[in-house]
Amino acid sequence: MAELVFIGTGSGKVSLNRFHSSFLISTSRYNLLIDAGDGISKALLAGEINFSSIDGILITHLHPDHYTGLAALIVQMKMCERKKHLDIFINTKLANVIQKFIINSYLFPERMGFTINYKSYINDELFKVNNEISFIPRQNSHLAPVSGLEKYKLQSFSCSSFLLNIENKKIHYTGDIGSKDDLLLFSDNTIDYLISEVTHIKPDDILNSYPNDALPQKIILTHITDEDINNLKEFIVNLQVDLKEKFILAYDGLKIAL
Ligand SMILES: [Zn+2]
Ligand SMILES: [Zn+2]
Protein backbone atom coordinates (compact mmCIF):
# COMPACT_ATOMS: atom_id res chain seq x y z
CA MET A 1 0.00 0.00 0.00
CA ALA A 2 1.28 3.42 -0.90
CA GLU A 3 1.92 6.12 1.67
CA LEU A 4 2.62 9.84 1.65
CA VAL A 5 5.12 11.08 4.22
CA PHE A 6 5.33 14.84 4.74
CA ILE A 7 9.00 15.63 5.29
CA GLY A 8 8.59 19.40 5.46
CA THR A 9 5.44 21.52 5.46
CA GLY A 10 6.79 25.05 5.82
CA SER A 11 6.75 27.91 3.35
CA GLY A 12 9.74 29.70 1.84
CA LYS A 13 10.21 31.50 5.17
CA VAL A 14 12.55 29.56 7.41
CA SER A 15 10.97 28.30 10.62
CA LEU A 16 11.91 26.37 13.76
CA ASN A 17 8.60 24.52 13.56
CA ARG A 18 8.67 23.23 9.98
CA PHE A 19 11.18 22.34 7.32
CA HIS A 20 10.61 23.64 3.78
CA SER A 21 7.87 21.91 1.77
CA SER A 22 8.67 18.36 0.66
CA PHE A 23 7.00 14.95 0.76
CA LEU A 24 7.84 11.36 0.04
CA ILE A 25 5.67 9.06 -2.04
CA SER A 26 6.41 5.58 -0.78
CA THR A 27 5.20 2.51 -2.64
CA SER A 28 6.32 -1.11 -2.25
CA ARG A 29 8.83 -0.69 -5.08
CA TYR A 30 9.83 2.96 -5.20
CA ASN A 31 10.36 5.96 -2.94
CA LEU A 32 9.94 9.29 -4.73
CA LEU A 33 10.88 12.51 -2.94
CA ILE A 34 9.06 15.60 -4.15
CA ASP A 35 11.34 18.64 -3.86
CA ALA A 36 14.63 19.03 -2.04
CA GLY A 37 14.90 22.59 -0.73
CA ASP A 38 17.33 24.13 1.71
CA GLY A 39 17.73 21.84 4.74
CA ILE A 40 16.24 18.72 3.14
CA SER A 41 18.97 16.42 4.48
CA LYS A 42 18.29 17.48 8.07
CA ALA A 43 14.53 17.23 7.44
CA LEU A 44 14.93 13.62 6.27
CA LEU A 45 17.14 12.87 9.27
CA ALA A 46 14.50 14.34 11.60
CA GLY A 47 11.83 12.23 9.86
CA GLU A 48 13.97 9.10 10.21
CA ILE A 49 14.00 8.57 6.45
CA ASN A 50 17.10 6.70 5.35
CA PHE A 51 18.86 8.60 2.52
CA SER A 52 19.53 5.28 0.78
CA SER A 53 15.82 4.46 0.65
CA ILE A 54 15.16 7.33 -1.78
CA ASP A 55 15.03 6.07 -5.37
CA GLY A 56 14.18 9.32 -7.11
CA ILE A 57 13.77 13.06 -6.53
CA LEU A 58 11.34 15.25 -8.45
CA ILE A 59 11.94 19.01 -8.55
CA THR A 60 8.92 21.28 -9.14
CA HIS A 61 10.68 24.64 -9.66
CA LEU A 62 13.82 26.56 -8.79
CA HIS A 63 12.91 28.58 -5.73
CA PRO A 64 15.51 27.82 -3.05
CA ASP A 65 12.97 26.26 -0.67
CA HIS A 66 12.38 23.59 -3.36
CA TYR A 67 15.76 22.69 -4.86
CA THR A 68 18.88 24.12 -3.23
CA GLY A 69 19.20 21.18 -0.81
CA LEU A 70 19.61 18.76 -3.70
CA ALA A 71 23.41 18.90 -4.00
CA ALA A 72 23.79 18.70 -0.21
CA LEU A 73 21.52 15.64 -0.12
CA ILE A 74 23.55 13.94 -2.85
CA VAL A 75 26.69 14.62 -0.79
CA GLN A 76 25.01 12.87 2.17
CA MET A 77 24.11 9.91 -0.07
CA LYS A 78 27.75 9.73 -1.18
CA MET A 79 28.94 9.80 2.44
CA CYS A 80 26.61 6.86 3.16
CA GLU A 81 28.43 5.01 0.37
CA ARG A 82 25.35 4.68 -1.76
CA LYS A 83 25.73 2.28 -4.68
CA LYS A 84 22.15 2.30 -6.07
CA HIS A 85 21.53 4.77 -8.90
CA LEU A 86 19.45 7.89 -8.20
CA ASP A 87 16.77 9.24 -10.55
CA ILE A 88 16.27 13.00 -10.79
CA PHE A 89 13.04 14.10 -12.47
CA ILE A 90 13.26 17.63 -13.76
CA ASN A 91 11.42 19.72 -16.33
CA THR A 92 13.28 19.57 -19.61
CA LYS A 93 13.58 23.38 -19.48
CA LEU A 94 15.45 23.23 -16.15
CA ALA A 95 17.56 20.12 -16.73
CA ASN A 96 20.70 22.09 -17.65
CA VAL A 97 20.55 24.24 -14.53
CA ILE A 98 20.24 21.22 -12.26
CA GLN A 99 22.99 19.24 -13.96
CA LYS A 100 25.32 22.26 -13.72
CA PHE A 101 24.37 22.78 -10.07
CA ILE A 102 25.43 19.22 -9.28
CA ILE A 103 28.68 19.45 -11.27
CA ASN A 104 29.44 22.89 -9.78
CA SER A 105 29.08 21.29 -6.35
CA TYR A 106 32.03 19.05 -7.36
CA LEU A 107 29.82 16.00 -7.59
CA PHE A 108 31.56 14.41 -10.56
CA PRO A 109 30.19 11.13 -11.96
CA GLU A 110 33.68 9.54 -11.83
CA ARG A 111 33.93 10.08 -8.06
CA MET A 112 30.35 9.50 -6.95
CA GLY A 113 30.14 5.76 -6.41
CA PHE A 114 26.62 5.80 -7.86
CA THR A 115 24.99 7.03 -11.05
CA ILE A 116 22.54 9.89 -11.34
CA ASN A 117 19.94 9.33 -14.05
CA TYR A 118 18.44 12.64 -15.15
CA LYS A 119 14.94 12.09 -16.48
CA SER A 120 13.33 15.13 -18.09
CA TYR A 121 9.60 15.63 -18.01
CA ILE A 122 7.65 17.80 -20.45
CA ASN A 123 4.59 19.80 -19.43
CA ASP A 124 1.27 18.16 -20.37
CA GLU A 125 2.92 14.83 -21.24
CA LEU A 126 2.31 11.72 -19.16
CA PHE A 127 5.53 10.60 -17.46
CA LYS A 128 5.69 7.01 -16.20
CA VAL A 129 8.10 6.43 -13.32
CA ASN A 130 7.09 2.76 -13.18
CA ASN A 131 3.87 0.70 -13.22
CA GLU A 132 2.73 2.19 -9.89
CA ILE A 133 3.65 5.88 -10.24
CA SER A 134 3.05 8.27 -13.12
CA PHE A 135 2.38 11.99 -13.41
CA ILE A 136 1.33 14.77 -15.74
CA PRO A 137 3.12 18.08 -15.12
CA ARG A 138 1.42 21.33 -16.10
CA GLN A 139 2.82 24.89 -16.10
CA ASN A 140 1.22 27.17 -13.50
CA SER A 141 1.40 30.92 -12.93
CA HIS A 142 3.63 30.93 -9.81
CA LEU A 143 6.56 32.59 -11.58
CA ALA A 144 4.51 34.85 -13.84
CA PRO A 145 5.24 38.00 -11.74
CA VAL A 146 9.01 37.65 -12.27
CA SER A 147 8.99 36.29 -15.82
CA GLY A 148 8.41 39.61 -17.60
CA LEU A 149 11.79 41.19 -16.97
CA GLU A 150 13.56 41.68 -20.30
CA LYS A 151 17.00 41.34 -18.73
CA TYR A 152 16.27 37.76 -17.63
CA LYS A 153 14.28 36.64 -20.64
CA LEU A 154 16.70 33.78 -21.43
CA GLN A 155 16.08 32.22 -18.03
CA SER A 156 13.46 29.47 -17.74
CA PHE A 157 10.39 30.22 -15.65
CA SER A 158 9.17 26.66 -15.57
CA CYS A 159 7.04 25.87 -12.52
CA SER A 160 4.71 22.89 -12.61
CA SER A 161 1.68 21.54 -10.80
CA PHE A 162 1.20 17.78 -11.01
CA LEU A 163 -1.52 15.24 -11.48
CA LEU A 164 0.02 12.21 -9.82
CA ASN A 165 -1.32 8.74 -10.35
CA ILE A 166 -0.18 6.47 -7.55
CA GLU A 167 -1.50 2.92 -7.60
CA ASN A 168 -4.59 4.26 -9.39
CA LYS A 169 -5.24 7.07 -6.89
CA LYS A 170 -5.30 10.51 -8.47
CA ILE A 171 -3.54 13.25 -6.54
CA HIS A 172 -3.45 16.88 -7.62
CA TYR A 173 -0.31 18.39 -6.12
CA THR A 174 -0.40 22.14 -6.67
CA GLY A 175 3.26 22.75 -5.88
CA ASP A 176 3.75 26.48 -5.51
CA ILE A 177 1.12 28.34 -7.51
CA GLY A 178 0.36 31.92 -8.48
CA SER A 179 -3.35 32.30 -7.89
CA LYS A 180 -6.56 30.37 -7.29
CA ASP A 181 -6.95 29.91 -11.05
CA ASP A 182 -4.13 27.37 -10.87
CA LEU A 183 -6.38 25.15 -8.73
CA LEU A 184 -8.35 24.45 -11.92
CA LEU A 185 -5.39 23.11 -13.92
CA PHE A 186 -6.63 19.52 -13.64
CA SER A 187 -10.35 20.21 -13.31
CA ASP A 188 -11.03 17.84 -16.21
CA ASN A 189 -10.17 14.95 -13.86
CA THR A 190 -11.79 13.40 -10.81
CA ILE A 191 -9.28 14.00 -8.03
CA ASP A 192 -9.04 11.67 -5.01
CA TYR A 193 -6.60 13.80 -3.02
CA LEU A 194 -5.64 17.44 -3.32
CA ILE A 195 -2.34 18.52 -1.80
CA SER A 196 -2.41 22.29 -1.91
CA GLU A 197 0.00 24.96 -0.87
CA VAL A 198 -1.60 27.73 1.22
CA THR A 199 0.97 30.49 1.04
CA HIS A 200 -0.10 32.04 -2.27
CA ILE A 201 -3.81 31.15 -2.01
CA LYS A 202 -6.33 31.02 0.84
CA PRO A 203 -8.10 27.78 1.84
CA ASP A 204 -11.41 29.45 0.95
CA ASP A 205 -10.16 29.55 -2.65
CA ILE A 206 -10.15 25.73 -2.62
CA LEU A 207 -13.77 25.56 -1.48
CA ASN A 208 -14.77 28.09 -4.11
CA SER A 209 -12.92 26.29 -6.92
CA TYR A 210 -14.90 23.06 -6.75
CA PRO A 211 -18.62 22.44 -6.99
CA ASN A 212 -19.52 21.19 -3.47
CA ASP A 213 -20.25 17.64 -4.61
CA ALA A 214 -16.97 17.38 -6.52
CA LEU A 215 -14.50 18.17 -3.73
CA PRO A 216 -11.68 15.62 -3.44
CA GLN A 217 -11.95 12.95 -0.70
CA LYS A 218 -9.08 14.54 1.22
CA ILE A 219 -7.57 18.02 0.98
CA ILE A 220 -4.13 18.34 2.55
CA LEU A 221 -2.86 21.85 3.23
CA THR A 222 0.90 22.39 3.23
CA HIS A 223 3.60 25.05 2.54
CA ILE A 224 2.46 26.81 5.70
CA THR A 225 3.89 30.03 7.14
CA ASP A 226 3.98 30.18 10.95
CA GLU A 227 2.03 33.45 10.90
CA ASP A 228 -0.87 31.72 9.08
CA ILE A 229 -1.26 28.65 11.27
CA ASN A 230 -3.94 30.04 13.60
CA ASN A 231 -6.06 31.29 10.70
CA LEU A 232 -5.80 27.91 9.02
CA LYS A 233 -6.84 26.08 12.20
CA GLU A 234 -9.76 28.45 12.60
CA PHE A 235 -10.78 27.91 8.97
CA ILE A 236 -11.02 24.15 9.54
CA VAL A 237 -12.76 24.42 12.94
CA ASN A 238 -15.48 26.59 11.41
CA LEU A 239 -16.28 24.21 8.54
CA GLN A 240 -19.43 22.13 8.57
CA VAL A 241 -18.82 18.55 9.71
CA ASP A 242 -18.66 16.80 6.33
CA LEU A 243 -16.17 19.37 5.03
CA LYS A 244 -14.14 19.37 8.24
CA GLU A 245 -13.45 15.66 7.75
CA LYS A 246 -11.93 16.32 4.34
CA PHE A 247 -9.31 18.88 5.40
CA ILE A 248 -5.95 17.93 6.87
CA LEU A 249 -3.48 20.54 8.06
CA ALA A 250 -0.11 18.98 7.28
CA TYR A 251 2.75 18.92 9.77
CA ASP A 252 6.29 17.57 9.46
CA GLY A 253 6.15 13.80 9.91
CA LEU A 254 2.49 13.40 8.88
CA LYS A 255 1.88 10.07 7.16
CA ILE A 256 -1.17 9.38 5.00
CA ALA A 257 -1.95 5.90 3.68
CA LEU A 258 -3.45 6.08 0.20
ZN1 LIG B 1 7.87 27.43 -1.92
ZN1 LIG C 1 8.09 28.98 -5.19
Instruction: Reply yes or no on whether the pLDDT at 61 is more than 90.
Output: yes
The whole-model pTM stands at 0.97
pLDDT value of position 212:
72
What average pLDDT does the chain have? Answer: 96
Starting from the CA of residue 38, give the closest ligand.
Answer: 1
- 16-24 long-range CB contacts below 8 Å, 24 or more apart? 17/226, 17/252, 18/224, 18/226, 18/251, 18/252, 19/43, 19/46, 19/252, 20/65, 20/66, 20/69, 21/65, 21/66, 21/176, 21/197, 21/222, 21/223, 22/66, 23/195, 23/222, 24/49, 24/54
Q: How far is the CA of 111 from the centre of ligand 2 (A)?
A: 32
pLDDT value of position 96:
96
pLDDT value of position 211:
82
Q: Please report which helix (H) or strand (E) contains residue 161, including its range.
A: strand 160-166
User: Each residue of 31-41: pLDDT tens digit?
Assistant: 999 999 999 99
Alpha-carbon distance of 35 to 126, in angstroms, equals 19
Q: How far is the CA of 52 from the centre of ligand 1 (A)?
A: 25
pLDDT value of position 1:
86
Q: How far is the CA of 176 from the centre of ligand 2 (A)?
A: 5
Q: How far is the CA of 241 from the centre of ligand 1 (A)?
A: 30
Q: How far is the CA of 24 from the centre of ligand 2 (A)?
A: 18
Report every protein residue that has its C-beta within 5 angstroms of ion ligand 1.
Answer: 12, 65, 176
**Reported confidence tier of residue 150, pLDDT bands at 50, 70, 90:** confident
Report the pLDDT averaged over residues 106-126: 97
**Reported confidence tier of residue 153, pLDDT bands at 50, 70, 90:** confident
Instruction: Reply yes or no on whether the pLDDT at 20 is more than 80.
Output: yes
pLDDT value of position 147:
87
pLDDT value of position 192:
97
List the domain boundaries for the chain. 3-257
User: Each residue of 193-250: pLDDT tens digit?
Assistant: 999 999 999 999 999 998 878 899 999 999 999 999 999 999 999 999 999 999 999 9
- In this predicted model, which residue has the larger pLDDT, 150 or 15? 15
CB 69 within 8 A of CB 77: no
pLDDT value of position 83:
97
Tell me which residue of 143, 135, 240 sits closest to 195, measured CA to CA: 135
Instruction: Tally Cβ neighbours within 10 Å of residue 135.
Output: 24
Q: Assign domain 3-257 one CATH number from 3.10.20.30, 3.30.70.20, 3.60.15.10, 3.40.50.300.
A: 3.60.15.10
Q: How far is the CA of 141 from the centre of ligand 2 (A)?
A: 10
Q: How far is the CA of 69 from the centre of ligand 2 (A)?
A: 14
